[in-house]
Structure 1
């Protein structure tokens, strides 16, 4: 299997939101974007799908060395080989790749967040950094693209955390800030034990509204000159907004299931995104 095929399977299996979002990108940007999505998935699997934190730290340490190998021109992993082939300037992109890895490493150090400012540091390290990398791949003005892409990445991650509330809780991670849970009288045990209540509904209404407002504000801030080249981020935004609406319609029942859109609906939403 060549590195392009590996990245495609890792980043965007058919039917996934990433699959439909990446298909909206300019053809010349798709290989690099697919490699970036694959790298994010590698990091995510390392910290979120391993039960032993020690193994996760070992794998992240390996990735740290692999990123250094990418920067020096000798990558060995299919994803980093793809990045070496498609990144126009590996040295310029290296700090952002390191920052993304460091963001995911936070998942091994912290499973709860006292308040939203503390959570925001994680969101910016993972969500904002990744969206900035994605935007830079096709931006007309790369120097200023982080100004609008980082907030969009933050918003996309906030929406993802709403979707994954139950799954994350079952794996010992709760991204809803402690002070917000206390405000609505919801406990960590409630999330872990899948306990629905009026208090939980109100809490999730607040979390969902914040994510939606952030998505809409960040989408509006994308410069008109960049919108055509940023169809992937726009598609992800449209898909996230539609999924939040679906979660609301379902009554915020995210603790025992992962609510999702059908592939046909994803295709339609991504194609119409603007």
Structure 2
């Protein structure tokens, strides 16, 4: 369990190299698809993304981890105070060391981090979402924020705008980065329907269930029929629209960031394909992209990075 205390930092914390290695190990263990994309980045950016990932994972585990039953509003208040300490350059524990170093190298804003904590507060008090608008806010807070954090690390290609026929000011790719985060979170939700149901959670909007005449009881029982398949096809189409929106921003990123972002997008989007191939059964079959299929995705992502 994360130890959130008001005590001062320990006198001896991990070295920067040790902290980044911890971040790498956690990313590689818990997000294999995402980790593969980070390996295509420049070393400094890759390490920064690992540090951000670990902070995001620790934040998520406060509500969804093995000790989540002990988490309350005060826990999240203390976690937000620890975040402020990190942004002030004062790491509290070993994992913070890498993020403090990342903040020294990249001008990250604290607000997306605070917004993510606000998303965890939603999870404390809600296990249903009536409308997609409600769910979209949740997806922004817990995942769209990652797009904002990551874009700062990736950087924008200002050289695109040195030619006289280009606009004077660079196009801001952050809306597309947020869209990619939302797309990824919607993909997670669709992949994890069965797992979430076993925890008493339904993230699919209840208005969507009603539209397809599929009930909460059906979902809890893992019913896969024509109603469910139509509902899932509808939700997958929505997620793909967010991926399509996200694509438009990749060309605005620094050249060394385009291939890993295209790769991460294509790899994660393929989870939706696997859900379809599994007949929309997300109750008894977990959708994952095989390693060989991931590898064959990389050349296409590289071509997109160079052409688009």
- Assess same fold via TM > 0.5: yes
Return the alpha-carbon distance in structure 2 between the equivalents of residues 242 and 261 of structure 1: 7
Normalising by the residue count of structure 1, what TM-score does the alignment of the two structures yield?
Answer: 0.90
CA displacement at 1:27 relative to structure 2: 2.1
Contact 1:24 1:270 in 2 (8 A): no
In structure 2, the residue matched to 1:205 is 233
Return the alpha-carbon distance in structure 1 between the equivalents of residues 31 and 66 of structure 2: 24
Query: Structure 1 residue aligned with 2:127, among 111, 114, 139?
Result: 111
The answer to whether the aligner puts 1:101 opposite 2:117 as a matched pair is yes
Where does structure 1 lack aligned partners over 5 or more consecutive residues?
A: none
Contact 1:139 1:145 in 2 (8 A): no
In structure 2, the residue matched to 1:223 is 251
CA displacement at 1:253 relative to structure 2: 0.6
Mark the CA change 1:264 to 1:23 in structure 2 (over 3 Å): closer, same or farther: same
Return the alpha-carbon distance in structure 1 between the equivalents of residues 123 and 130 of structure 2: 15
C-alpha RMSD of matched pairs (Å): 2.4
CA displacement at 1:161 relative to structure 2: 1.2
Alignment deviations for residues 68-89 of structure 1 (CA, whole Å, 9 cap, x no partner):
1102221122332111112236
The answer to whether the aligner puts 1:73 opposite 2:101 as a matched pair is no
**Farther off after superposition, 183-192 or 142-151:** 142-151
Mark the CA change 1:232 to 1:43 in structure 2 (over 3 Å): closer, same or farther: farther
Contact 1:159 1:211 in 2 (8 A): yes
Q: Secondary structure at the match of 2:71?
A: helix
Structure with the greater alpha carbon radius of gyration: 2
Return the alpha-carbon distance in structure 2 between the equivalents of residues 153 and 268 of structure 1: 23
Contact 2:106 2:152 in 1 (8 A): no
Q: Which has the higher contact order (CA 8 A, sep 6+)?
A: 1
Where does structure 2 lack aligned partners over 5 or more consecutive residues?
A: 1-13, 159-169
Normalising by the residue count of structure 2, what TM-score does the alignment of the two structures yield?
Answer: 0.81
Q: Superposed, which structure 2 residues align to 1:17-32 within 5 Å?
A: 17-32=33-48
Contact 2:38 2:46 in 1 (8 A): yes
Mark the CA change 1:174 to 1:221 in structure 2 (over 3 Å): closer, same or farther: same
In structure 2, the residue matched to 1:138 is 154
